[in-house]
Structure 1
Amino acid sequence: MVPADVFRDQPVLTGDRVRLEPVDARTGEHLVRAVVDPDPEVRRLTGTHRRFTEEEVRAWAASRPEHADRADWVILRNEDGVCVGDCALLDLDADNGGADYRVALNDMAFTGQGYGTEATDLVLEYAFTVAGLHRVALQVFDFNGNAQKSYERSGFVREGVWRDHLYWDGAWHDAVLMSILAHEYADLRAARSG
């Protein structure tokens, strides 16, 4: 339904408060500290058990331009260029016009300010109006109610649960599955502009 290399010419996406720049060797430097020495609460909210080295992060960032089946961005605050997080469209299903979405802010100090929601809105605009996707899906852990509300503001609809999907601090947690379809995005976009 969409070309397998649909993300080859990944653009910079600019909003009122943030701009999303494609991850490469240069922009990936913004992620090194956040990934190698992450905020413990961010690790929990994203369910990230694995630890990464600086070399791994730099090699991964430098390889992003070679991967046209996914789109990765750093989230930079417009006012001062500070990197507040990263986001991505990944796991492209070209035959069915779908991709998964993920977003993470680098530090809990950046949460609750709308950066994640604006980044999500920018990515959805790109996904549906430029890349021509039919469906964008995500998973969010049951204990992250603020993220679920943010995704709902961007038009995502809860569609199910993966039970006991994450084991963290001695307890099992569900992953809430959410998605948004192209026609739902078009309706939301029309409602916002009308």
Structure 2
Amino acid sequence: MNDLPRTDFSVKPTLIGEEVLLRPFLLDQDAPVLRSILRDPEVGRLTGSDHGPADPEPWNEAAEERMHVWYGTRHEQSDRLDLAVVERATGSCVGEAVLNQWDSDNRSCSFRIALAVAGQGRGLGTEAVRLTVGYGFERLGLHRISLGVFAFNPRARRAYEKAGFVVEGVRRDVLLYDGAWVDDIVMSILAPEWERHRGHPEAAQ
């Protein structure tokens, strides 16, 4: 994999799996689900964007405009990849998967994913992780993909582990949520690991 050319993220692919496909955002079609994710207090808690039950800002015209500007410009970004997660059975967007914080010299980046309630608990997220990570290693020539998951989100941690991410450390007391400190668990996956198990580490053992 070391001979893969270094590239950027300007190409926005469509990645097809068994249960989900990942594609560029279609804002007119995807906006209701994206809005529901941004307004969901549980998503805010698990991502650390909210700091307690009283913290979320009200959704107003300014928030709506920020959403449209953000998702309407994802196709223009050459230093990150933002894709909609779409359930193939229904054709509906259920979330987003993102490669960002790209370090071109060290061929590394970060990963994050957010799913609406309708997309949770059915393995869609795990497949979306595998599709995104596989693209990063096999098509972009990345060497390392990392993420952080808060300690009060064991379901997400398990999904990442099923796709091959391993825990490499803990950043203690990173988030203050509702008066309590929460650790951030740092996880990563490397290109040689992906090459060995293709996102199915348990089957490769």
- Normalised by the size of structure 1, how large is the TM-score? 0.89
Query: Shift in Å at residue 182 of structure 1?
Result: 0.2
Partners in 1 of 2:133 and 2:32 — Cα distance?
A: 23
Alignment of 1:53-72 (within 5 A): 53-72=63-82
Query: Shift in Å at residue 26 of structure 1?
Result: 4.5
Residue 13 (str. 1) matches residue 22 (str. 2): no
Partners in 2 of 1:13 and 1:26 — Cα distance?
A: 21
Residue number among 138, 162, 175 corresponding to 1:129 in the alignment: 138
Aligned counterpart, 2:116? 106
Q: Could you give the per-residue CA deviations for residues 94-134 of structure 1, whole angstroms, max 9, x where no partner exists?
A: 01000000001112x43221011000000011000001100
Aligned counterpart, 1:34? 36
Moved more, 164-173 or 42-51: 42-51
Partners in 2 of 1:24 and 1:7 — Cα distance?
A: 18
* Structure 2 gaps, min length 5: 51-55
- The 3-state SS of whatever aligns with 2:45 is helix
Partners in 2 of 1:131 and 1:24 — Cα distance?
A: 23
1:24·1:63 contact (CA, 8 Å) conserved in 2? no
Partners in 1 of 2:181 and 2:122 — Cα distance?
A: 29
Query: 1:140 and 1:83, CA in 2 relative to 1: closer, same or farther beyond 3 A?
Result: same
- Normalised by the size of structure 2, how large is the TM-score? 0.85
Highest CA radius of gyration, 1 or 2? 2
Partners in 2 of 1:76 and 1:103 — Cα distance?
A: 13
2:149·2:185 contact (CA, 8 Å) conserved in 1? yes
- The 3-state SS of whatever aligns with 1:177 is strand
Q: Could you give the per-residue CA deviations for residues 43-82 of structure 1, whole angstroms, max 9, x where no partner exists?
A: 2111122646111010011111111100001111101112
CA RMSD of aligned residues (A): 2.0
Q: Which amino acid aligns with 1:175?
A: D
Alignment of 1:89-168 (within 5 A): 89-107=99-117, 109-168=118-177
Q: Which amino acid aligns with 1:161?
A: V
Q: How many positions carry a matched residue from both structures?
A: 189
Query: Shift in Å at residue 32 of structure 1?
Result: 3.8
% identical aligned pairs: 41
Partners in 2 of 1:180 and 1:117 — Cα distance?
A: 14
